[in-house]
Amino acid sequence: MTIEPLYVNTPRIWRGHFGVFKKEIYDGIKSKVEEYPKEALRSKELNNNSFSTAKIDEYRPHQLEALVPFYRQLYADILQLHFQFFNAVTPGPQKMEPVFDTGFYSIADEYRQEEFIDRLNKEPEWAREIYKKLFLIERSWFNLSYSEGQVLPHNHSGLVSYVCAYYVKVPINGGRFLVKTRNPNRREGDWKDDMIPLEVKSGDYLIFPGDLVHGSEPNESNEERMVITTNIVLKHY
C-alpha cells in the first residue's frame, strides 16, 4: 500500500433544528407508514423492531406538502455548507461531444471558467437557474424504531454527497445517533474505529457525507422513534 490515512479532527457532521410536527400531521404519517406490511419495510440496515419506507416509492417525505418548510431550510443549509464551508466551485453548463467514431462521448465545458464566473456575477437570474438544479434528492424515507429497534452501522455509498437525518420524534431513552470515527485519545500506531454517540432530540437534524458510517443506539423506551432520511446528490453535468 502506497498511501496512509491522516487522522485530522475535521468536522464531518452538522446539526440544525427545525422543530416538531403538529400532532395531526405526525399521527397521519405514522398511520400511513404502519399501513404497509412489515415485510415490505424490512431492511438489512435495521434490526427486527425497526422499519423503513426506503423501498416504498409511492410515499416519499420530500413529496409531502407538510414537509416543504423543512426542505426549504435544508436546501439553504446545503448551499451554505457546500459553497462556504467546502469552498466548492459551481459547475458550469457542460455539453457532450463524440470522441470521433469510437462510440464514446466526452464532457466539455460550454464556457471558460473566467467567462462563467463573470456571467454568474452579471446575470443573477441565470445564476439562480444554475444553482437550483445543482442539488438533487435521490430519495427520502421514514424510519420507525419501536422498543429495542436499532439502525445498524452502514453508510450511503455511491453518488450520495450529503445525507440528512431529521429526528421527527426522539422519546426519552430513544437512542442516540452513532458515528464511526477515529478515537483521538488512542496513542499513535494504535488507532481503532469507534462508534461515538451524539445526543439528538426531537426536531434536530444532522447533515453528513454519504460515505460516513453511522447508526443508532437501541430505542430503550416504550414509544417509537421517527426519523426522516434524505439522500442528496450533486448534478455534475
Its pTM surpasses 0.85: no
pLDDT at 59: 95
Residues 145 and 142: their CA atoms lie apart, in Å, by: 10
Report H helices in the chain: 23-35, 68-80, 113-122, 124-132
Instruction: State the sign of the Cα–Cα–Cα–Cα dihedral 83, 88, 90, 95.
Output: negative
Q: Identify the structural domains of the chain with CATH numbers, from first to last.
A: 14-83+134-234 (2.60.120.620)
Burial of 227 by CB count in 10 Å (0-12 exposed, 13-18 middle, 19+ buried)? buried
pLDDT at 48: 82
b/e code 139-151 from CB counts within 10 Å (16+ = b): bbbbbbbeeebbb
**Which amino acid makes up residue 133?**
K
Q: pLDDT per position in the chain (237 positions), as tens?
A: 455 555 555 558 999 999 999 999 999 999 999 999 999 999 999 998 999 999 999 999 999 999 999 999 999 899 888 877 776 666 777 888 999 999 999 988 888 878 887 888 888 888 777 777 789 999 999 999 999 999 999 999 778 999 999 999 999 999 999 998 765 555 555 545 678 899 999 999 999 999 888 999 999 999 999 999 999 998 765
